Structure 1
């Protein structure tokens, strides 16, 4: 049944002489699960194998540096010496044992090195000394002899990977890395045989391809990954990429081609490396794949927000591509492929493109995970839970993300769980977050967690408030408090002289506001940005005053930058470094948090308060002294984000 529903996606495909069991690929991506010295370890192997075990057609490992100057950050996985071979051999053996195939990806980041190992500004190399504006890097232009050494290093790294037992090699030429720095006319200003004409700018990638193919021989699969476009006014253009792809296709050196979008070099381009929900719809790489496919004969892999099997199947069926890279889909749901194969489509935990714990973790120096499924990236720790020693009767108070996660995992572990929600709907604050303009997909976390609650056999009681009397009458052995938070307000005397509402009321659509609005935002998260966008779209004159550097400062980088673009386009005025001091009449008094000087804003009809939440601890106080096991999770512990709520729900369920 499922094979007929997804006949193309689940069919085998050959990349060179290597046959994949299906066309669902887990592409290379940063995880920070490897050891600090860049060697592969048990945690990273377990992460990859979890996807292989569920049926992934191919695992492509995180891009590996090939020499001392090719990494993006110091703990980059490496293939620059023979000491790296045992880790890759262990990975290959583990994936092969589960019936999968594994490719190594080779990286030279060129000027896109974010930091040196000692914390100093990095010495970087590129086709030219063109400045990289996002990370403020001025690279050194490579000499001819240095280029030739790099070309040889690609071949040597490929040989190590093949010795370790991988099935294929992929070159990471995409998203602003060194091959792209040779291709892009806006970056490459050379006047020798590696610059000028597009044919000359393609010389480096063809020499790399020749070096690798001559090293690995004809039996190992070999592919090249490029950005179809940088999607910025200063970067690789689509036509440049298409020509490079066509030349690789005609070279006879590679077995397949792989396209993505974006570049880390610029703010606008970087949003498309791991595009947030606000920036791209599901499968938005497809039009680029369609145009590329018309010029290519080799199999084409495309990666770009495929979070459902339907979107990938349709693109393959239409002949726009041959296989789908589904990175975040399988970070969010490691069992994605098995669910597709078994026809359990409604059970797939669809990625909502929030960027928070996947790329968001990497950008803050932490290992990969997922806000919906915190077991991801923690396969050997939080993901290794089993059945409880003794079944308990558990009451979970609150049906937001924290409560739903606690309830579903506790029930899967064998406990008898009653999930009580005082309102008539599961979801808590996540429902409100999904009402923000451009972020409707965030509601997917509610849909997905509610499905897990259902599948786990949890008893759900809506419009049921948990009290001490209820806990006692049910004879519960344990209670999980997940009662959330309420909007916090400043002290009344500071704002009593002006009409005021909360950002939550604005987003919920229950607030009546005047024409001129000032948002006082101390949290610098989605609430202030969401309120500003909503009010602007409704025709109000909006100013947002933030305590931080910019609105959305605490949001994942690409979400923040997309929000900055949307606020600019909406004409929202921004005052940064500003805290609310007080207000009266139509005047709001702010204080510059660095200069400690006043900022006076006049003509304000409505003040919108965005001061975060206040933990709802009423039930905690009510049951104090009750001789019962208890766990406090999410915003009622202290208000934070959905990530912490779900993670704490998981930990509480494991502790029961």
Structure 2
């Protein structure tokens, strides 16, 4: 424990990269890509707003490494076909005020809505469950050559990120996307070198990391967002996760962001949160405390933080080095400055409901309402904390029709 750590205390990664404070923006899906899947001008505006709001490090919404595999219709893609100029402008804007900005690089695997693709790919030909099978088609198992090709796509995206001026990258290894699918014995039932034992199931993520490292060198930070567990029967367990964490730390990963759950069991948004967790604010702090005893790699805990006091307590406990924030920043973009200025500062996010359960379920307000806030900031408008849930529903319907309410990822 250290009582001299505060939210504005700088942190130096092992490769010498200095992050000016402990406030970290976790990835949120912005849905602000062009029809060619390049960044819109609004993304630069949005991330400059957050940088000026005081963040030490921002992680972008997931950027796809393969334009034939999109998690959502308006995803940004970073590959050899991308126009790097808007990426350069985005990186420059997100680096304002001494902030860092890292793209989150991702492949959705089978988490592709069926209105985007008829046949997604995955480690094994196993469909999503818990109601998601209605919106997502059963995948085809990847071939060996396809696996190697995807690994190369991750590495290329990392190389292009560095070329564009971003200050690091993050691998999305959580929430049921492709990296997470490879790690899960529920979703990965291959009988080759990529499946079966935990050693084989973690081969993909380690190969992605090493391929990236070869492209970007030792001085360019590579982080990962990793599940503490999938919280599903037969899925990726806490014990599995700790072994993967140790392997990544040994390989030289620079920063590990801890999350949990999948969209079949969404623990990352507080699903079935225990009272002890609610009291401490952070969803995954107990897991982080266990990990801290295993490795000395810097950690980020994301999910649930709402007060400066809770954040400072978590930092001083030694369990985490950074405080991950997501949805609060969609409503309060100056929150980091406010938290650092006042140790008694706190915020609340109101529950979102139209009052009609079937409409709430259809509208996916925890995604669409916050996307509209991001869109406002991208247009140089202030967020609107009292935005009507019904207006969100109707604007989404008018803007994209019924496809807007198909099952999606964030």
2:61 partner SS? coil
Q: Are the aligned partners of 1:307 and 1:328 in contact in 2 as well (CA < 8 Å)? A: no
Pairwise CA distance, 1:20: 0.8
Partner of 2:357: none
Question: 2:97, 2:173 → 1: CA distance?
Answer: 29
1:81 partner SS? coil
**Structure-2 change in CA distance of 1:369 and 1:344 (3 Å):** farther
Question: 1:148, 1:161 → 2: CA distance?
Answer: 20
Matches within 5 A, 1:82-93: 82-93=81-92
Question: 1:57, 1:130 → 2: CA distance?
Answer: 40
Q: Are the aligned partners of 1:66 and 1:106 in contact in 2 as well (CA < 8 Å)? A: yes
Partner of 1:222: 222
Partner of 2:398: none
**Structure-2 change in CA distance of 1:187 and 1:294 (3 Å):** same
Question: 2:314, 2:201 → 1: CA distance?
Answer: 31
Matched, 1:8 2:6: yes
Question: 2:106, 2:353 → 1: CA distance?
Answer: 23
Partner of 2:122: 126
Unaligned runs of 5+ in 2: 355-359, 396-410
Question: 2:65, 2:329 → 1: CA distance?
Answer: 27
Deviations 1:576-623 (A, max 9, x none): xxxxxxxxxxxxxxxxxxxxxxxxxxxxxxxxxxxxxxxxxxxxxxxx
2:377 partner SS? coil
Question: 2:186, 2:120 → 1: CA distance?
Answer: 18
Matched, 1:49 2:48: yes
Partner of 1:351: 349
Question: 1:278, 1:257 → 2: CA distance?
Answer: 22
1:88 partner SS? helix
Question: 1:384, 1:333 → 2: CA distance?
Answer: 9
More strand by share: 1
Question: 1:308, 1:122 → 2: CA distance?
Answer: 44
Q: Are the aligned partners of 1:64 and 1:71 in contact in 2 as well (CA < 8 Å)? A: no
Partner of 2:401: none
Pairwise CA distance, 1:68: 3.1
Q: Are the aligned partners of 1:277 and 1:353 in contact in 2 as well (CA < 8 Å)? A: no
Question: 1:250, 1:48 → 2: CA distance?
Answer: 32
**Structure-2 change in CA distance of 1:6 and 1:185 (3 Å):** same
After TM superposition, the structure 1 stretch with the greater mean CA deviation from structure 2, 11-20 or 156-165, is: 11-20
Q: What's the TM-score, normalizing by structure 2?
A: 0.83
Task: Tell me the number of residue pairs that the alignment of Structure 1 and Structure 2 aligns.
Answer: 376
Pairwise CA distance, 1:6: 8.0
Matched, 1:308 2:307: yes
* Higher RCO (C-alpha under 8 Å, 6+ residues apart): 2
Partner of 1:297: 296
Larger-gyration structure (1/2) = 1
Question: 1:6, 1:355 → 2: CA distance?
Answer: 41
**Structure-2 change in CA distance of 1:51 and 1:97 (3 Å):** closer
Question: 2:118, 2:190 → 1: CA distance?
Answer: 22
1:383 partner SS? coil
Matched, 1:274 2:269: yes
More helix by share: 2
Partner of 1:135: 132
Question: 1:60, 1:6 → 2: CA distance?
Answer: 26
Partner of 1:106: 105
RMSD: 2.9
Partner of 1:30: 29
2:18 partner SS? strand
**Structure-2 change in CA distance of 1:70 and 1:307 (3 Å):** farther
Partner of 2:248: 248
Unaligned runs of 5+ in 1: 371-375, 386-404, 406-444, 450-633, 635-639, 648-656
Pairwise CA distance, 1:61: 0.7
Matched, 1:167 2:167: yes
**Structure-2 change in CA distance of 1:354 and 1:312 (3 Å):** farther
Q: What's the TM-score, normalizing by structure 1?
A: 0.53
Matches within 5 A, 1:58-69: 58-69=57-68
Pairwise CA distance, 1:79: 0.5
